[in-house]
Amino acid sequence: MKIGIPAEVDSGEPRVAATPETAKRFIGLGAEVAVESGAGASAGILDKDYEAVGAKIVSTKDAANADIVLKVRRPSKAELANYKAGSIVISIMDPYGNEAALNDLAKAKVAAFAMELMPRITRAQVMDVLSSQANIAGYRAVIDAAFEYGRALPMMMTPAGTVPAARAFIMGVGVAGLQAIATARRLGAIVTATDVRPATKEQVESLGAKFVAVEDEEFKQAETSGGYAKEMSKEYQAKQAALVASHIAKQDIVITTALIPGRPAPKLITKAMVESMRPGSVIVDLAVERGGNCELAAPGKVAVHNGVKIVGHLNVAGRLAATSSALYARNLAAFLDVLIKEKQLNVPWDDEIVKATLLTRDGAVVHPNFQPKGAA
């Protein structure tokens, strides 16, 4: 049983799918581990670090020619040409709206698993890549905001006078939002937060922040069984937008994290809201890769409008590549514990974790959410 760790081909992806810690774990499971030379370099991991735990440093083709291939991003059509038919490929697949890429995976006859489709059940928590990476992104968003903001975040009492604390507003209280709240609080900001899910109010307040929302009957029902936000009615959105607009005008830092799985990110901050903010204020849009929560956000850029900076960094978790790689690698290692038993690759195809994450198998797209149109 061979596990391959290719280097990521996307120049904007510094993370790596295995660390020396997890490579050693795989070897303990009876696997040969083949790491492409330089795969961990951007995450601060040298080839010799992998070799020290027993992994082999190999060429691109040798890393791809494995029974199990672990990646951060979905392999391209060119990469798939080097993969064995019947091999298992595990990565963040980004399947929504990428039907052509799913067809390429199917044609390559690989069993492709999308880690971001991990079900929200207790035993899968340790495999939840969305949470592990969102945690890093939420932290980094505050650091990026502090970098762009031209003032100190905490209140400072000095002989020359008092410096007031910055006001930070977090929009969307999932894993990223909670970490952003905690980080902004640690840095001394006055923090408020909003979310359409009523269960988040207690979480926000437990971190010492103030909750801001229109708390009507629709708000009380605004959560799916999986714990995600529902899309709200136009009427509720209008009421919430009015409340948020008046609140944003008083903020120094706004961090948006709102995403709806399989849909474009909801627009939460309009041009008029940006224009209501003081020059020097900062907005960090963590949803920019899905269309953005701020209508002025530009993917991969720091836009400036009326003196307000709108930060649209891509792959924010990857901006802390060493930490995010370590967590992602552990997510993958936990998933492989499901697929490998008694030092043998033995995929339990009927396991709910396997069924929830399996995209393609035996030359076909098999996940029910991504069936070709017209398929039974």
* Residues assigned a catalytic role: 120, 125, 128, 131, 228
Tell me the three state secondary structure of residue 210.
strand
CB 55 within 8 A of CB 33: yes
CB 340 within 8 A of CB 333: no
The CA angle 106-128-177, to the nearest 5 degrees, is 120
Q: State the DSSP code for 269.
A: B
User: Exposure string (b/e) for 321-346, b if CB count within 10 Å is 16 or more?
Assistant: bebbbbbbbbbbbbbbebbbeeeebe
Burial class (CB in 10 A: 0-12, 13-18, 19+), 143: middle
Rg of the chain over all Cα atoms, to the nearest angstrom: 22
Instruction: Give the sign of the dihedral formed by CA 206, CA 218, CA 221, CA 284.
Output: negative
Amino acid residing at 48? K
- Give me the helix-helix angle, 129-148 and 175-186, nearest 10°: 40
Instruction: Give the integer Cα–Cα distance in Å for 298 and 285.
Output: 9
Instruction: Please provide the DSSP assignment of 84-127 as one string.
Output: PTT-EEEEE---TT-HHHHHHHHHTT-EEEEGGG----GGGGGG
Of the CA atoms within 13 Å of residue 338, those in its CB half-sphere come to 20
Burial class (CB in 10 A: 0-12, 13-18, 19+), 241: middle
User: Exposure string (b/e) for 169-206, b if CB count within 10 Å is 16 or more?
Assistant: bbbbbbbbbbbbbbbbbebebbbbbbbbbeebbebbee
Q: State the DSSP code for 369.
A: G
